[in-house]
Every structure is written in structure tokens, then in C-alpha cells.
Amino acid sequence: MKLAKALLPLAAVLALAACKKPPEKVSEKDQARAVRVVRVEPRSIVGGLTASGDLLPREEAAVMPEVTGYRVARVMVDVGDYVRAGQTLVQLDPTLIEAQVAQARAQAAQADDQAKRVADLDGQGVLSQEQIAQRRFQAQAANAQLRNLLTQRRKLAVTAPVSGLILEKTVRPGDLSAGGSTPWFRMARDGQVELSAELGEGDLARIRVGQTATVTLPSGAAAQGRVRLISPQIDPQTKLGAVRILLPVRSDIRAGGFARAVFSDAAGMALAAPETAIRYDADGASVMTVAADNRVKRMPVQTGPRGGGWVQLVRGPPAGTRIVQNAAAFLLDNDLVRPVETPAQVASAAPARKQ
């Protein structure tokens, strides 16, 4: 009797063990994660086109003396000054020419008096017609010489041909005015400076006159510019063309510097992927492609301009390839996934989500 009671708990345990079923085996397909995918296709990338180049005066003016042989008495402006058209920049020493003007004025007065004396003697036989004509000619020549000297005296004030900013000065007090190829001043007309940026032929097609661009200066400051001119030709050696971007007149925008422009509303077609699909690590940029068997594989890419939520794939998977939309998804090569294809307009507008 005691033995039977002792065996009862053991029998109950064995009965429960016999009723318990073994766990069912879960397949790899059932464990596959659902991920959003999008196809690599040609898309219109709005914005993101960048170009760099030199800051140059829109129009440069050179100032040189028009008379030679005179000493510089005063230099009245310096580099960085803004001057008005007609403003005196350099005053030449007038001492020499003042003496010449006084002498020419006296000679002209004497010649005029001689000419007046024969004004009514034509045909009267007092003087020959040749003598009368000679006195009149001498008066004309003397007055012409006086006018020439007066003009030279006015030119002793070297003035600005246009309004603008003085960029460079090479003249000093005591210098002698002389004909040459080196200007005394270089000016940026109206103080206007523009960026001369170079773009490839394909990118030039995305630019239009009047288009806006954000230009980043060497200091890090930004300025809004406007495309003024697009080069009508491509350099046969570099295959690049120039774009001139006119900038506002500001003291921190200096000719000779280097700047970078971003064309915010440039548009063009290119193979592209969502920005969220690009993953960056020590090996560079890459995307996770999804093969026909729904297994993923990392593929390196080279990116180009970006905008509107898309980034151009300069090098990477061919058109039509499915890629994982969210690079933040922790996936490894050969992982099996359950792809959920996302329409292009949704992929570009939707923020990144955790898969």
C-alpha cells in the first residue's frame, strides 16, 4: 500500500511529460524582417548642384595718365576706397605747364592783334595777300597751341573713368608720368564682384540666366547671387564652361578670393536613390541591394549632387535595382528580408523610419 502511494506522483509526472508536444521549428523565411525598398531609377534631382571658382570684378577699369613728363604731386585715394566717376585720383605738378600756358597765351594775344590789323586790307595793295593770310594763319596756330596746353593742364588731374572700388594702386608721389602698360589704378566698376564658376557640359544644361545661387565665401559667410552669364562655349581641354554669378556689393566680398556656389533650384535627370538609403562607414558610402531571392548585399556607391530628398549615384547599382530605403536598418550581407516596395514620391517625401 505504501509502495503504491509513493509511485503515484511519479506516474503523474510521466503522464504530463507524455502529453507535452515538442516545439515547432521556425523557418528562416518566417524570421525574415519586413523592410521598405525602392528602385534605383532616373529621377529629377532638384537643387544640390555645386560649383566653385574665383571671385572677379564684373567689369574692371584701368586708370593711367594721359599726359607724360609730369611729376606726381599728390595721390588722393588708396586701395579699398570707393570713388565716383570724374573724381580726382592723382594730381600732377602743374608748375612746368603753367609757364608754358602763360607764354602761349601771350603769343596768341599778339597773333590775334596782328590778324586784326589786316582784317580790312584784302585787295587794297597795302600788304600782299600772302602776308595777310600768313598773319591769320599765325593767329590760328597760336590759339590752337594755347588750347592744347589748356587741355593738358586739365589732364594733370587724373580722374576716375567710372564709379567703383579701387582694387590696386601702383603710383606714388614723385613718380613721373610716362606712357606704359602698367596702370596706376585697377578698379571694380560700381564695386560689383562676381563668381566665375566652372561646370561640366551636362551641368551647364541645368543652369539658366537669372537663376539664384547661394555663394559661400572664404570667411564662411554666405551671399545670395544671380546667374548673369553662361559661357557659350566649352573649353576643349577641360570640357568645362564658365558661369558668372553676380553678387551683392558688400565689404566682405573681395575680388581675388575663392568661393563655392550651390544652385538651389537646378534640376536634372540622373540615376538616384533616397538620401536615407545611403549608409556611410569607414569603407565609404554604400547601399544595401535586394536580389531576386530577397537576400541583401552591400554595394559601394559614389554619390553626386543631391536635392529634394534624392542623391545622384555616379557609380553604383544599375537602374531597376531594389535597395533598402533606410540605411539605419541593421542588415548584414546575405540576410533574408521581406521587401515592401515604396512608391518613388513616398520614398522622397517620407522621413527615415526604423525598420
What is the CATH class of 50-58+192-265? Answer: mainly beta
Count Cβ atoms below 10 Å from residue 244 Cβ, excluding itself: 19
For residue 309, the number of C-alpha atoms closer than 13 Å in the C-beta half-sphere is 12
Contact between 149 and 96 under an 8 Å Cβ cutoff? The reply is no
C-alpha dist (Å) from residue 31 to 38, 241, 329: 22, 55, 15
Candidate from 119-128, 163-172, 272-281 with smallest mean pLDDT = 119-128
The rounded distance, in Å, linking the Cα atoms of 204 and 266 is: 10
Judging by DSSP bridges, how do beta strands 284-290 and 296-300 pair with one another? antiparallel
Contact between 227 and 214 under an 8 Å Cβ cutoff? The reply is no
- CB neighbour list of residue 120: distance below 8 Å, 6 or more residues apart: none
What does 283-331 look like in DSSP terms, one character per residue? TEEEEEEE-TTSBEEEEE-EEEEEETTEEEEEESSPTT-EEES-TTS--
C-alpha dist (Å) from residue 278 to 182, 226, 289, 298, 312: 55, 32, 11, 11, 11
The rounded distance, in Å, linking the Cα atoms of 342 and 346 is: 7
Domain 66-185 part of CATH 1.10.490.10: no
Contact between 275 and 46 under an 8 Å Cβ cutoff? The reply is no
- What's the confidence (pLDDT) of residue 197? 93
Residue 351 has pLDDT above 50, yes or no: no
Q: What digits encode the pLDDT tens for the residues 260-272?
A: 998 866 656 678 8
pTM over 0.75: no
At residue 276, what is the residue type? Answer: T
At residue 61, what is the residue type? Answer: A
- What's the confidence (pLDDT) of residue 353? 42
Closest listed residue to residue 58, CA positions, set 149, 167, 145, 141: 167
Q: What digits encode the pLDDT tens for the residues 171-181?
A: 999 999 987 77
Mapped to the 3 state alphabet, what secondary structure does 178-214 carry?
CCCCCCCEEEEECCCEEEEEEEEHHHHCCCCCCCEEE
Could you give the percent of the chain with pLDDT greater than 70?
82
**What 3-state DSSP class applies to 132?**
helix
The rounded distance, in Å, linking the Cα atoms of 254 and 335 is: 55
Mean of the pLDDT values across residues 65-85? 95
Mean of the pLDDT values across residues 152-170? 95
Domain extent listing, the chain: 30-46+268-349, 50-58+192-265, 66-185
- Separation of CA 307 from chain center: 19
Residue 17 has pLDDT above 60, yes or no: no
Cα torsion through 272, 274, 276, 278, rounded to 10: -10
Residue 46 has pLDDT above 80, yes or no: no
The fold of the 30-46+268-349 domain, in CATH, is 2.40.420
Candidate from 133-137, 162-166, 227-231 with smallest mean pLDDT = 133-137
Residue 190 has pLDDT above 80, yes or no: yes
Mean pLDDT of the chain: 84
The three cell numbers locating residue 199: 561646370
Mean of the pLDDT values across residues 56-61? 94
Tell me 181's DSSP state.
Answer: S
Confidence of residue 10 (pLDDT cuts 50, 70, 90): low
The rounded distance, in Å, linking the Cα atoms of 38 and 260 is: 32
SS3 content of the chain, % helix, strand, coil (to 5): 25, 35, 40
Residue 3 has pLDDT above 50, yes or no: no
Contact between 249 and 265 under an 8 Å Cβ cutoff? The reply is no
